[in-house]
């Protein structure tokens, strides 16, 4: 029993020490651990060379340029369809592709942006909730909430 309690205590420490406040591009004050949802950025599922430009990418570029004193992790997530390993690989591929594009084509400083794919490891909407949705369209909208891109504040200078 003590081992289990000790393990649980260790696994909780990082989330207690780092705040995880949800922020938007409209916010101006950020702290380590804050999460900024990137709105409406869609990328091809398997091809990171595809053109990912759209309005939200320009918003992302402007946001990163405005906050060049902050180091961010570009975090990509998938829904729970597919297998865990494939989803982790696809999300890392997307995160890296977006980071590479921002650096190469939008002159974002590579020192302020890392890329990390989380796959389906941090779902917002559970599979149970999705399975309880009444229509295929409702289920797809719920899956879309899980397929997201976020900026996680790593360091504020």
Helix (H), strand (E), coil (C) string for the chain: CHHHHHHHHHHHHHHHHCCCCEECCCCCCCCCCCEEECCCCCCCCCCCCCCCCCHHHHHHHHHHHHCCCEEEEEEEECCCCCCHHHHHHHHHHHHHHHHHHHHHHHCCCHHHEEEEEEECCCCCCCHHHHHHCCCHHHHHHHHHHHCCEEEEEEEEC
Residue 61 has, within 13 A of its CA and on its CB side, a CA count of 17
Residue 56 has, within 13 A of its CA and on its CB side, a CA count of 14
Determine the Cα–Cα distance for residues 38 and 42; give it in Å rounded to an integer.
10
Q: Is residue 74's pLDDT more than 50?
A: yes
Q: Is residue 68's pLDDT more than 90?
A: yes
pLDDT in tens, 12-32: 333 333 445 789 888 989 999
Say what the pLDDT of residue 108 is. 96
Confidence of residue 41 (pLDDT cuts 50, 70, 90): low
Q: Which of 6-10, 43-47, 59-63, 66-70 shows the lowest per-residue confidence on average (mean pLDDT)?
A: 6-10
Say what the pLDDT of residue 1 is. 44
Q: Would you say the C-alpha torsion 88, 81, 153, 107 has a positive or negative sign?
A: positive
Q: Is residue 129's pLDDT more than 60?
A: yes
């Amino acid at each position: 029993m003590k081992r289990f309690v000790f393990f649980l205590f260790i696994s909780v420490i990082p989330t207690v020490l780092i705040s995880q406040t949800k922020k938007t591009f409209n916010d101006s004050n950020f702290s380590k651990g804050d999460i900024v949802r990137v709105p409406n950025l869609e990328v091809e599922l398997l091809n990171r060379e595809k053109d990912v430009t759209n309005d939200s990418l320009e918003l992302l570029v402007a946001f990163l340029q405005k906050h060049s004193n902050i180091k961010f992790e570009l975090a990509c997530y998938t829904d729970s369809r597919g297998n865990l390993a494939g989803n982790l690989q696809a999300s890392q591929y997307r995160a890296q592709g977006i980071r590479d594009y921002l650096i190469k084509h939008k002159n974002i400083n590579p020192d302020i942006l890392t890329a990390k794919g989380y796959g389906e490891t941090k779902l917002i909407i559970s599979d149970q909730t999705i399975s309880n949705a009444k229509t295929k369209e409702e289920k797809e909208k719920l899956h879309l909430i899980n397929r997201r891109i976020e900026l996680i504040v790593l360091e504020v200078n």
